[in-house]
Amino acid sequence: MKLLAGRDIAEFIAQRHTTLVAGMAMPPHLAIVRMGEDAGTDVYLRVKSRYGESIGVKVSVFAETPDSILERIHHLNLDSGVTGIIVQLPLSDPKMVSPALAAVALEKDVDGLAPGTSFEAATPKAALWLLAAHNVDLKGRIVVIGQGRLVGKPLADRLEASGLDVVRCDIHTKNLAAETLQADIIFTCTGQPHLIKPDMVRPDTVLIDTGSPKSELDPALYRQDDLIITPNPGGVGPMTVVSLFDNLLIAAQSAA
39: pLDDT confidence band, cut at 50, 70 and 90?
A: confident
User: What does pLDDT average to over the chain?
Assistant: 95
Q: Is the pLDDT of residue 64 over 80?
A: yes
Average of per-residue pLDDT across 20-30: 96
pLDDT given for residue 227 in this prediction: 96
pLDDT given for residue 214 in this prediction: 84
Q: What angle, 0 to 180 degrees and rounded to 10, lies between the N-to-C axes of helices 39-55 and 7-22? A: 50
Q: Is the pLDDT of residue 160 over 80?
A: yes
Q: Is the pLDDT of residue 41 over 90?
A: no
Kindly report the three-state secondary structure assignment for every residue of the chain.
CEECCCHHHHHHHHHHHHHHHHCCCCCCEEEEEEECCCHHHHHHHHHHHHHHHHHCCEEEEEEECCCCHHHHHHHHHHCCCCCEEEECCCCCCHHHHHHHHHHCCHHHCCCCCCCCCCCCCHHHHHHHHHHHHCCCCCCCEEEEECCCCCCHHHHHHHHHHCCCEEEEECCCCCCHHHHHCCCCEEEECCCCCCCECHHHCCCCCEEEECCCCCCCECHHHHHCCCCEECCCCCCHHHHHHHHHHHHHHHHHHHHC
pLDDT given for residue 255 in this prediction: 86
What domains are there in the chain, each with its CATH number? 13-110 (3.40.50.10860), 122-237 (3.40.50.720)
Q: Is the pLDDT of residue 213 over 80?
A: no
Sheet-wide strand order for 29-35 = 58-64, 29-35, 84-87
- Condensed to tens digits (0 to 9), the pLDDT of residues 83-129 reads 999 999 999 999 999 999 999 999 999 999 988 999 999 999 999 99
Q: Over pLDDT 70: what percentage of the chain?
A: 100
pLDDT given for residue 184 in this prediction: 98
- Provide the whole-model pTM: 0.92
What does the alpha-carbon distance between residue 175 and residue 55 come to, in Å, rounded to a whole number? Answer: 45
Q: Is the pLDDT of residue 251 over 80?
A: yes
* Cα–Cα separations (whole angstroms), residue 6 to 11, 128, 135, 143, 220: 9, 11, 13, 21, 21
pLDDT given for residue 211 in this prediction: 79
Q: Is the pLDDT of residue 188 over 90?
A: yes
pLDDT given for residue 180 in this prediction: 98
Q: Is the peptide bond before 213 cis (omega within 30 degrees of 0)?
A: yes
* Cα–Cα separations (whole angstroms), residue 50 to 8, 9, 44, 106, 113: 17, 18, 10, 25, 23
pLDDT given for residue 175 in this prediction: 97
